[in-house]
Amino acid sequence: MAKKLFIKTYGCQMNVYDSGRMADVLAPLGYAPVDSAADADMVILNTCHIREKAAEKVYSELGRLRPVKSAKEAEGGRMVIAVAGCVAQAEGAEVLRRAPYVDIVLGPQTYHRLPEMVARAHRAGAAVGSVGKTGDPAGRGVLETDFPVESKFDHLPEAAAPQGLSAFLSVQEGCDKFCTFCVVPYTRGAEFSRPVADIEAEARRLVAAGAREITLLGQNVNAYHGAAPRSTGGAPAEWGLGRLIGHLAEIDGLVRIRYTTSHPRDVDEELIEAHGAVPALMPFLHLPVQSGSDRILAAMNRRHGADDYRRIVDRLRDRRADLALSSDFIVGFPGETEAEFAATLRLVEEVGYAQAFSFKYSARPGTPAAAMPGQVPDPVKSERLERLQDLLHRQQTAFNEATVGRVLPVLFDRHGRHPGQLVGRSPYLQGVHVAAPDELLGAVADVAIDAVHTNSLGGAIAAGAALRPREGGG
């Protein structure tokens, strides 16, 4: 009898990818995905620790799951509850202390061991009394939050289910940057890059299963330095992200390539050249800067200045004039003055963004910034965030409005809410709604943009538009 699995994913696209791979790992045990925790025999909360109150959201969800688990047990059934991801890595023992009914706590680098953990949890019969590998002193639950010597990618099965027309592919994990506000180096570990051959094999499987667009993922994806395919002569032993992208673009049927998230320090000439030379590489780049103030950037340990960032953007736009940018910003970092915040506003005005993510600084326990003097009062942070978001919203609106009257190639990946409607993505990651036949699903077609909606564009198939199922959409 098939067992039912429900995974709730928080946070970044890497977590979305990891959730899919956890489902793959559990499939041989008979677990099949369902859409509701109430129907599940196993529930996994795949958590994120980046944003403020992330852990409390997890505990709230666990509180809602507790009576569901108890009801199943009262009827003679069983629900295994697992907490995975970065909250689990950062405070695994605390999860078991606050929620002793949790069966498994596992970090991002250990989910290839899930079958063993599930077996141990079932052998225990209940959370209490099952001692985790790392030796939970309270004797509750299976706790797996070490960083194994072997890569989890060496132990994962092939993907059991296709991701769809747009797929994620993890090429790099971990971070060696140690920004003072960030927990990622502590929850994801040191930087690790997968070999080119492994990435190519997974990409070919995704395309064979129907993917037309692949987004390459990494905590610092452009720090990628994977082992090159076996070769002779003086070929380099490792490839960077630019060369990897060019290589993957040769896969027949792969229409579009994207990557996220990148770091300014790891933007090299080979990657910049790829933006001009590889048609399948979309002209949309998420390149976080965080602040426009050099002093704040130094306090953040970003190891680049505002002008360094400007020069990188100029070089990228020299290669690809229509390149659109997204970014991350933190306002109210400890010690930030009004003049330093104004420097951020100037950088935004000069660079111009198609979209961006902006947040008030929130202290993450255990990070250096949490102990810095000059913590900015919350009302000041809120007021600055409002000004920044107003500017970013105006830029995004202007960027979208500038597409009206243009013809953009759109990759159609799903049905719309209305009969006869398809939805796709422009090269700049904008959603586009079009009246179109189902035959266009999975294909790229030219669309004449004629409307800007709140979160998307509208248009019509351009007169004489040809289908382009195998070429870059830029």
Q: Are residues 116 and 213 in the same domain?
A: no
**pLDDT-based confidence at 444, cuts 50/70/90?**
very high
In a domain, 322, yes or no: no
**pLDDT-based confidence at 415, cuts 50/70/90?**
very high
Q: What is the pTM of this model?
A: 0.79
Give yes or no for residue 472 having a pLDDT over 50. no
Q: What's the CATH code of the domain at 238?
A: 3.30.750.210
In a domain, 317, yes or no: no
Give yes or no for residue 129 having a pLDDT over 50. no
Q: Are residues 52 and 179 in the same domain?
A: no
State how far Cα 185 lies from the chain centre. 16
The dihedral sign for the CA sequence 159, 194, 144, 180: negative
Q: Are residues 128 and 250 in the same domain?
A: no
In a domain, 129, yes or no: yes
pLDDT in the model for residue 306: 98
Tell me the two tokens of residue 289. Answer: 């800067």
Beta bridge partners of 423: 414, 433
Last residue of a domain, one of 264, 282, 300: 282
In a domain, 473, yes or no: no
Last residue of a domain, one of 282, 302, 337: 282
**26, 105, 358 from 111: Cα distances, Å:** 10, 10, 31
Q: Are residues 7 and 108 in the same domain?
A: yes
In a domain, 335, yes or no: no
Range of the domain at 434: 407-461
* Torsion (CA) 395, 400, 404, 409 in degrees, nearest 10: 140
pLDDT in the model for residue 86: 83
* Residues 210-255: tens digit of each pLDDT: 999 999 999 899 999 999 987 645 667 899 999 999 999 999 999 9
Q: Are residues 186 and 276 in the same domain?
A: yes
Q: Are residues 241 and 124 in the same domain?
A: no
Q: What's the CATH code of the domain at 87?
A: 3.40.50.12160
Domain count, the chain: 3
Q: Are residues 71 and 97 in the same domain?
A: yes
Tell me the two tokens of residue 457. Answer: 């564009």
Last residue of a domain, one of 282, 306, 321: 282
Q: Are residues 85 and 126 in the same domain?
A: yes
Q: Are residues 100 and 62 in the same domain?
A: yes
Q: What's the CATH code of the domain at 430?
A: 2.40.50.140
Q: Are residues 166 and 128 in the same domain?
A: no
In a domain, 316, yes or no: no
In a domain, 373, yes or no: no
Tell me the two tokens of residue 318. Answer: 């020299």
Q: Are residues 190 and 273 in the same domain?
A: yes
Q: How far apart are CA 345 and CA 329, in angstroms?
A: 10
Q: How far apart are CA 11 and CA 50, in angstroms?
A: 8
Whether the link from the prior residue into 337 is cis, omega within 30° of 0, is no
Nearest to 326 by CA among 386, 364, 282, 363: 282
Q: Are residues 197 and 246 in the same domain?
A: yes
* Residues 143-178: tens digit of each pLDDT: 665 555 445 555 555 655 556 899 999 999 888 999
**pLDDT-based confidence at 470, cuts 50/70/90?**
very low
In a domain, 444, yes or no: yes
* Residues 26-82: tens digit of each pLDDT: 888 889 999 999 889 999 999 887 665 777 888 899 999 999 999 988 888 889 999
pLDDT in the model for residue 2: 78
The percent of residues in the chain predicted with pLDDT above 70, rounded, is: 87
pLDDT in the model for residue 126: 45
State how far Cα 135 lies from the chain centre. 31
Q: How far apart are CA 208 and CA 251, in angstroms?
A: 10
pLDDT in the model for residue 110: 82
Give yes or no for residue 469 having a pLDDT over 60. no
